[in-house]
Amino acid sequence: MGKLIIVWFPIPISGGASGIGLETARVMAQHKAHVIIGARNMEAASKAKHLILKHTPGARVDVLQLDLASTRSVRAFADSFKALNLPLNVLINNAGVMFCPYQQSEDGIEMQFATNHLGHFLLTNLLVDKMKETARATGVEGRIVNLSSIAHIHTYRHAILFDDINDKKRYSDKRAYGQSKLANILHAKELSRRFQEEGVNITANAVHPGLIMTPLFRYSAISMSKQTRHNNDKPTKNVYRNKQNGAATTCYVALHPAMKGVTGKYFADCNEIQPSSHARDEMLARKLWDFSNKLVNSAASSKA
């Protein structure tokens, strides 16, 4: 992976209380970053903080409540972060749920799409002005990293159910997960396009961390390995890996000097790889952006 940059600025990490997110937080803390763990379970987040401090005494770690399935919680997290009056160069959209039975979020959106994509879409939109401000003030490139998955290739026939995201009859826990992971890549792609068009010094990329045995697998641990058998990309053929390897690509994309100026790409095993044709579709990325905006605005209106 090579040598990572030593950083001093804050790095919010969603889902930083366990699994790959915790390992990512630990590595970032080792590299002097001020880690902000966003987590739904504050007890787990507190334990994660103490674990990081045990490995890296003197590390700067804060925890903030964040439930990505709730637009209300996402907005509260963004407000809490802004209240800290800290700069923001790197944002890691890590948290997610996997293969859960059909259910809806408190905003009435299918849970995997709401948690894995929509929550991060809103969080990024709420924090992006702070990132732009920091990039201008410091001259340091901002970086957004979305955790996706090789599972993005296994989605619905027409990629994303724009016509009815909550269709229970068509619901497949695996395809719904793939749909949300495809959305993560398309989100990074459209962010990248917008940043380049605006001339903003911020990059946005997506990563596949590999198949890691983490709490995400509480619903299923077998079907993901089956999916990889149909994938021809060598970097993703390893089935199960440890959390250290799983966090490596995220850390590489977020902090490595070689990633300067690289944007709108998809990475696995610290290498750029080509995602599915759907994930490369610019029009699909723009359509998802507009669709996501409508959903978050609708959720806000319903709470007004």
Residues with a known catalytic role: 171
What angle is formed at CA 119 by the lines to CA 100 and CA 50, rounded to 5 degrees? 85
Closest CA relative to residue 134, chosen from 189, 200, 228: 200
Tell me which residue has tokens 């923001």.
88
- Residue 1 to residues 32, 238, 247, 269, Cα–Cα distance (Å): 18, 17, 11, 9
Strand extents, DSSP E, the chain? 10-14, 34-39, 60-65, 90-93, 142-147, 202-208, 211-212, 240-241, 266-268, 271-272
Whether 141 contacts 204, CB under 8 Å: no
Q: Residue 21: in which H helix or E strand, if any?
A: helix 19-30
Sign of the C-alpha dihedral computed for residues 110, 115, 121 and 126 taken in this order: positive
- Residue 53 to residues 75, 93, 116, 303, Cα–Cα distance (Å): 28, 22, 28, 39
- Residue 185 to residues 65, 96, 207, 244, 304, Cα–Cα distance (Å): 25, 14, 8, 22, 31
